[in-house]
Amino acid sequence: MRKVVRTRIFTVVLTSLILLALILLSSFPGSPLNHLTSPVSAIFKPIQSSFRSVTGNISDFWISLTDGMSIRQENEKLAQENAQLKNKVSQLEAAGRNYEELKTALQLKDKFDRYEIAGARILTRELGTWFDVFKIGSGTADGITITESESFAVVDAQSRLIGRVLSSDLTTAKVLPLLHEGFAVSARVNEVNGAIVRLRGDIELKEDNLCVADQIPTSSDLRIGDELVTSGLGGLFPEGILIGSIIEFRDDAAGRKIAIVRPSVDFDNMSVVFIMKGLQS
Amino acid sequence: MRFLKKHGRQILVYSIYIISLTVFQFALSGWLVPISYMPDLVLILVVVCGSFFGSDDGMIIGILAGFLRDMMVGRVLGLGMLLFMFAGLTASIFLKNSIRRNPLLTIIQVAAVSLIYEIVIVILTFLFPMLPDQVYSFDMLINLRYSDALRKILVNVVAAVPIMFLLHYAGPYRRGQQRTGMEDEGEGGHAWHKI
C-alpha cells in the first residue's frame, strides 16, 4: 500500500518536472519543442476550420436577424447624413484629383508593396489569461518560421496592426495580439517628426479593447485623436503600420503620463489575418 | 493487443470526449458565446473524470486535455498540461478515505477546482509578468479577476451537470463495472464510481 502511494507520488513529481522543463524550453522563441504540436495541429486544422465556417455562418445569420431592427432606425439617420455627405463628396472629389496628381508626381507607392504578405484564417480565439493567444492556419510550411531574432507582424486587410507571430508549428502559428499584456512595440505619432513612444498591452484595459502608450518624451506634444503607427525601430515591425489613436491621457502609478490608445483594428470581427513575411527578394 | 482489448473502450471514449469538447469549446468561445460566459468544458471534464474515476484517469486526461489547450491557445507548451494534471489529481484527492462519490460532491469539486484554477492563474500572472517593467500588484489582479471568476465558477457548475450525465451513462467504463486488483480503493486512486 505504502509502495503504491510512493510510486504515485514519484510519478506525479517526475511528470511535473518534465512538464516544467517543457514550459521553460518551449518559452524560447523558435524553440523546436513547439513542433511537438505539428501532428496534432495537422489533424485539428481542418476540423477547426470547418467548425469556424459553421459558427461563422450561424453568427452571420444571427447578426442579420438582430440587425434588421436597427437598420430601420439607422435608415432615417442615414437619409439626413446623405444630404450632408453629397455636399462633402463634391468637395472631396476636387481634393482627390489633387491627391492623384501629387501621388503621380512623387511616385508614391503603396506602403508595403515590397513585403510578401500571406493570408491565414483564424482557427481559435483566446480562452482567458495565460491561454490568450490565437491560432491561425499558417505555419512553417508556409514560411512562418520564428527565430530568437525574427518574428512577423500580423495585420488585417487594411494593414492595421493586429499583433505578431509568437510561435509556429508545421501547419499553424500562434499570434500574440496587440492587446495582450506581453505585447510591446515602438510606435510614433503619425506626423512629421512625430514623438516616439512605446505601445503595450495592459491587463486591465484589454477587456475594453484598449492598450497603453507609455515612455512618452516629456517634450512631446501628444493630443487626443493623434494616430500612432509603428516606428520601425527594433526591426521586427515595418515602419508605418497603423496601430490606433489616442483617446485619453492618464498618470500611471509612478506619476508618469501615459496615453490610452484604441486600436484601429476590430478584434471582435476578425476571421482572416495577413502575415507580413518580409521583404521580397 | 491485450492492452487495447483491456483499455480500448477507455481510449476511444476519452478521445471522443476530449476532442469533441475541445473543438466545441473553441468553436463557440469568443465567436458565438462571449469568453467570460463560456464554461471551461475541458476543465470540467478533467475534474469529473478525476472525481468519478480516480487519480490515474484524472491525471492522464488532464495531461492530454492540457496538451490540446496548450497547442491551441497556450503561450507556452506544458502549462495547460501541468494545470489540468493537478486539476484531475485534486479532484480525486478531495474525496480521499473515502466518502462515496456522489453527484453533489462532484459539483462542489467542480466549483472548488474552478476557484483554485482562477487563483493559480492570478498567482502565475503576478509571479511571471510578461514585460519585465510592467508588474501588476496582487490586489489589482485579484480585483480584476474577482467578478469574472465568480461568473466562471457558476457557468462551470451549470455545465458540469450534462458532462456528469454523459460520463455516467456513456462513460469510459461499463456501468457497474468493478475494477479488480486495484489495491488502493479509498485513496482516491482507482476507487470506482458507484452511484
CATH of the domain at A257: 2.40.10.350
Distance from CA of A173 to the nearest CA of B (A): 9
Scan residues 158-197 of A and list those with Cβ closer than 8 Å to B.
166, 174, 176, 180-182, 184
Q: Is residue A189 part of a domain?
A: yes
Residues of B in contact with A57 (CB under 8 A): none
Q: Which residues contact A259 (CB under 8 A, 6 or more apart)?
A: A197, A212, A213, A214, A216, A222, A246, A248, A249, A250
Chain B contact for A125 (CB, 8 A cutoff): yes
Angstrom distance (rounded) from CA B11 to CA A69: 50
Q: Is residue A242 part of a domain?
A: yes
Q: What would the pLDDT profile of A178-200 be if each residue is shown by its tens digit?
A: 998 888 999 999 888 888 999 99
Q: Is residue A107 part of a domain?
A: no
State the cell numbers at A63: 447578426
Q: Is residue A19 part of a domain?
A: no
Contact between chains at A127 and B69 (C-beta distance less than 8 A)? yes
| pLDDT for residue A73 is more than 60 | yes
Chain B contact for A12 (CB, 8 A cutoff): yes
Once rounded to an integer, what is the mean pLDDT over residues B39-66? 91
Q: What would the pLDDT profile of A210-253 be if each residue is shown by its tens digit?
A: 999 988 888 888 889 999 999 888 777 888 889 999 999 988 87
Angstrom distance (rounded) from CA B124 to CA A83: 56
Domains, chain B: 2-169 (1.10.1760.20)
Q: How confident is the model at residue A140, as a pLDDT? A: 87
Cross-strand pairs, A249: A259
Residue for cell digits 505585447?
Answer: A183
Residues of chain A with pLDDT > 90: what percent? 14
- The closest alpha carbon to A27, from B77, B134, B82, B127, belongs to B77
Handedness of CA A226, A232, A234, A235 (dihedral sign): positive
Chain A contact for B165 (CB, 8 A cutoff): no
Residues of B in contact with A132 (CB under 8 A): 73, 75
| pLDDT for residue B97 is more than 60 | no
Q: How confident is the model at residue B115, as a pLDDT? A: 92
Q: Is residue A206 part of a domain?
A: yes
Strand pairing report for A242-251 and A257-263: antiparallel
Distance from CA of B185 to the nearest CA of A (A): 10
Q: Is residue A203 part of a domain?
A: yes
Contact between chains at A16 and B27 (C-beta distance less than 8 A)? no
- The closest alpha carbon to A174, from A138, A147, A207, belongs to A138
Q: How many independent structural domains does chain A possess?
A: 1
Q: Is residue A168 part of a domain?
A: no
Chain B contact for A206 (CB, 8 A cutoff): no
Angstrom distance (rounded) from CA A61 to CA B52: 40
Chain A contact for B135 (CB, 8 A cutoff): no
Cβ atoms of residues B195 and B101 within 8 Å: yes
Contact between chains at B70 and A37 (C-beta distance less than 8 A)? yes
Q: How confident is the model at residue B176, as a pLDDT? A: 64
Once rounded to an integer, what is the mean pLDDT over residues A2-24? 85
Residues of A in contact with B187 (CB under 8 A): 4-5
- The closest alpha carbon to B73, from A265, A137, A28, A173, belongs to A173
Angstrom distance (rounded) from CA A172 to CA A111: 27
Domain that holds residue A243: 184-264
Q: Is residue A112 part of a domain?
A: no
Cross-strand pairs, A120: A273
| pLDDT for residue A107 is more than 70 | no
| pLDDT for residue B27 is more than 90 | no
